[in-house]
Amino acid sequence: MFSENCNNIFNQSIVDYHVTDDVDAQIKNPFPPSTIEFLLYKKNWIDTVQWHLEDIVRNPNISPVDGLAIKRRIDSSNQERTDMVEFVDSYFLDQFKNVVALPNAKINTESPAWAIDRLSILALKIYHMQVEVNRENASTEHIASCTIKLNILLEQRIDLSSAIDDLLEDMKTGNKFMKVYKQMKMYNDPSLNPILYQQSVK
């Protein structure tokens, strides 16, 4: 199943990141650049780095200068994450380009890649909740609470994985069709963000 491949790659990426646990560590993607595996690994690596940037920026003792630098880095990461989702969707558009949609075919609420994006984030939640369950200095109450949350996350991964595989099968058989809308983020575009374009005319 495609989702199983995704989950294995996401887990590998997360474990690889935590070898150094450094947001500045260079990615060492083990997959050939022309493959979907390469895209999935890179996608999750971006998510993993951003996860830890979000932790860093919430440090109450961070200086305003460093905090702003991290927030801008997160902003850039969000754009890169969106770009990677669109690359993954391009892969699926190519995969299903010769499929003729059935007369009663329907469109899904989200594209395959955005569902896979949620699976990537879910992998991170599971990894870090497992860390909390295993924390030796945590209270019994904390571990019990995190264990409940971990079990819910694991169930959620089963459900989401199944839904992704079902969606891909429906697209393969023409029962659903794929339509992708490019993300039209406005805050990064100097021509669409009023704070930016108003400065340019001063």
Q: Indicate the domain borders of the chain.
A: 2-200
Q: What is the pLDDT of residue 184?
A: 60
Residues of the chain with pLDDT under 50: none
Q: Can you tell me the distance from the alpha carbon of 54 to that of 63, in angstroms, rounded to the nearest whole number?
A: 15
Q: Is 21 left (phi over 0), alpha (psi -120 to 50) or beta?
A: left
Task: Give, in degrees to the nearest 5, the angle at Cα 83 between 85 and 171.
Answer: 30
Report the SS3 class of residue 137. Answer: coil
Please tell me the predicted confidence (pLDDT) of residue 189: 65
End-to-end CA, the chain: 56
What global pTM score does this model have? 0.89
pLDDT at 2: 96
- Amino acid of residue 114: W
Q: Quick one: pLDDT at residue 179?
A: 83
CB distance 84 to 114 below 8 Å: no
> Which tokens belong to 20?
């150094």
Q: What is the pLDDT of residue 180?
A: 77
